Chain A
Amino acid sequence: MRRQQNTVLSIVMGFLAVILLVQLWLLVSALEAHAGAEGLVGLPAALASGACLLAAAWLVRSVQ
């Protein structure tokens, strides 16, 4: 049982790491587009980042 919990926790942390990388990529892309005055990238990036945050919050809650 304990071993199974360990595996679940490792998988959750792996997913969280991927989510954070996606969010970091969104942030840098939005900042680069903003600095280059290229269209409106901020809003879609913020919405996508918000969706990632919800997923991350759900994952964190599921292991507490």
Chain B
Amino acid sequence: MEAQPKWREDFPIHWEEDEYVTRREFTKFLGLTSFALFLGTAWIAVWERLRQGRPAIQPARRIASASELAPGEVKLFRYPTLQDPCILIRTAPDRFVAYSQICTHLACPVVYEREKQRLRCPCHEGYFAAEDGRVLAGPPKRPLSRIDLSIKGNEIWTQEKV
């Protein structure tokens, strides 16, 4: 056996015994994991309840003036509440589109890729078409939620939704 330093003789630590996890202990860990998964699902249920309490009518709101954005530029805004991030894109000189910025896969915010005319979710590489929000690639199954717009003169408004 190797000679041990004096301090180690005084304070012996048996690493192998210390780090040994019995199967019974491991089942406890599995039980805790089950509790954590339950908490996550319960949190989503509570979140849904809170969302239900929102007003049914979403009033029209001014987002930007058309001259604020050059073609290919975007503006971030929140609609209908401050908890709902959205993105307004000027895809062409005479065309504006707006979507919810929340990816329909696992709720990460999407970003606009001007060169490829698409929206990208950086979390799991999901891609959506900028022209209509449809899924181009990646794990999302549903298109991005679209915000209906109306253009009044030089102003861009969301449409009232009942």
A contacts, CB < 8 Å to B: 9, 12-13, 16-17, 19-20, 23-24, 26-28, 30-32, 34-38, 40-43, 45-46, 49-50, 52-53, 56-57, 59-60, 63-64
Contact = CB atoms under 8 A, between A and B. Distances in A.
Interface residues of B, number: 31
A42 B41 contact: yes
Given A31-B44, A34-B107, A64-B24, A19 B34 contact: yes
B40 to A, nearest CB: 5
B38 A16 contact: no
- If over half of B's interface residues share one DSSP class (helix, strand or loop), that class is named, otherwise mixed; here it is helix
A26 B24 CA distance: 26
B116 interface: no
A10 to B, nearest CB: 8
Interface in B122-162: 141-142, 145
Contacts of B46: 42
A63 B105 contact: no
Contacts, number: 106
Contacts of A32: 104-106, 141
Given A16-B31, A37-B145, A43-B48, A27 B41 contact: yes
A17 B29 CA distance: 11
B20 interface: no
6 A-B pairs closest in CB distance: A42-B45, A60-B31, A56-B34, A23-B37, A46-B45, A42-B48
Residue of B23, B27, B106 contacting most chain A CB atoms (<10 Å): B27
A42 B44 contact: yes
Residue of B24, B45, B106 contacting most chain A CB atoms (<10 Å): B45
B41 A20 contact: no
Contact of A26 (B23, B41, B48, B142): B41
Given A31-B44, A34-B107, A49 B37 contact: yes
Contact of B27 (A26, A36, A37, A59): A59
Contact of B28 (A19, A31, A41, A60): A60
A23 B38 CA distance: 7
